[in-house]
Amino acid sequence: MKIGILFGGKSGEHEVSIRSAKSVAEAIDRSKYEVVLIGIDKEGLWSISDESFEVKNGKPFIEVCHELFRGLDVVFPVLHGPFGEDGTVQGMLEIMNIPYVGASVLGSSVALDKDVTKRLLRDAKIPIADFLVYKTKPDFDEVAEKLGLPFFVKPVTMGSSVGLTKVESRQAFDQAVDLAFCYDLRIILEETIFGREFECSVLGLDNPIASLPGEVIPKGGVYSYENKYLDPEGAKFILPAHLSQKKVDEIKKLAINVFDILCCSGMARVDFFMDQYETIYVNEINTIPGFTNISLYPKLWEISGVSYSELIERLIFLALEKARKKNLLTISV
């Protein structure tokens, strides 16, 4: 089978995408799969890459789409954030009738949008932190009164903690808001849940399964971009998390519920908080989570009995199965 690994992109998570794609390319079974590396540079130009993962002599998509995707059986998008994890690439692949790993157009776009995600979860009675969304600069006093201090400021449609700031005072507020608006036209401000942080991986289509949860203990109390990718000691991971079986089951059930409510498929990582009263809150979901060999999505499956290479195989199978079901639906109509 011929597998296209799609990486890079125009979002602020470009470098993270390259790291994830390298790990996927290294782990995939080359005796079963022919790998084609498709790179997108920061200007949105596309080209075939070699194992250096450098995007050279890129061209607009419309000029090279046939060359890039000809003969591919499955595409594995390892793109994080806008223009890759938001349904745009997924829609393109749907139009070209190419099976792809991960969530569909709807699931991708819904899950990347923190505003829509939280409103859907709130309506489904899933416990979440209080939040506010703004298109223009908010008033500090109004936000502090509603959310308390400290609170978090984030772009609505970014991942990997890009543009995230923990605001503890009026002095930090303006800079935090300006930073978030650098990445999006909307920003989301969230209540701080004081307690522990957990992550759980989900895999599947109609009957998804959840991994054992892991605990994240970030340095300085904030799981920032620097802690995730730049500082080798930026966070401590406890895999699996030290939790009662009741809490493990609760997190796994919640993760699957969130996956289904947000119309996800293939894979996702769901992030949680637990406060001092052991109440579990859903933080967010990532439909294309970090995929390096030390990223929590594959690590959580590893401690649950699924190796990295086996995980890639399962995701490719799920991509083909999802495409088969859609084709059958189209034919029956």
Q: CA 285 to CA 268: how far, in whole Å?
A: 7
Q: CA 222 to CA 197: how far, in whole Å?
A: 10
Least confident of 38-47, 68-77, 269-278, 288-297: 288-297
Q: Delineate the domains of the chain, giving CATH numbers in brackets.
A: 2-100 (3.40.50.20), 119-124+193-315 (3.30.470.20), 130-191 (3.30.1490.20)
- pLDDT single digits (tens) 233-247: 667 999 999 999 999
Question: Residue 160's pLDDT is what?
Answer: 59
Mean pLDDT over the full length of the chain: 92
Given a cut of 60, whether residue 333 has pLDDT beyond it is no
Nearest alpha carbon to residue 23 among 297, 321, 293, 221:
293
Beta carbons within 8 Å of 150's beta carbon, 6+ residues apart: 166, 167, 168, 192
Question: Residue 43's pLDDT is what?
Answer: 93
Given a cut of 70, whether residue 28 has pLDDT beyond it is yes
Given a cut of 60, whether residue 226 has pLDDT beyond it is no
Q: CA 318 to CA 304: how far, in whole Å?
A: 19
Question: Residue 150's pLDDT is what?
Answer: 96
- pLDDT single digits (tens) 159-178: 757 889 999 999 999 999 99
Given a cut of 60, whether residue 285 has pLDDT beyond it is yes
Nearest alpha carbon to residue 77 among 24, 34, 28, 41:
24
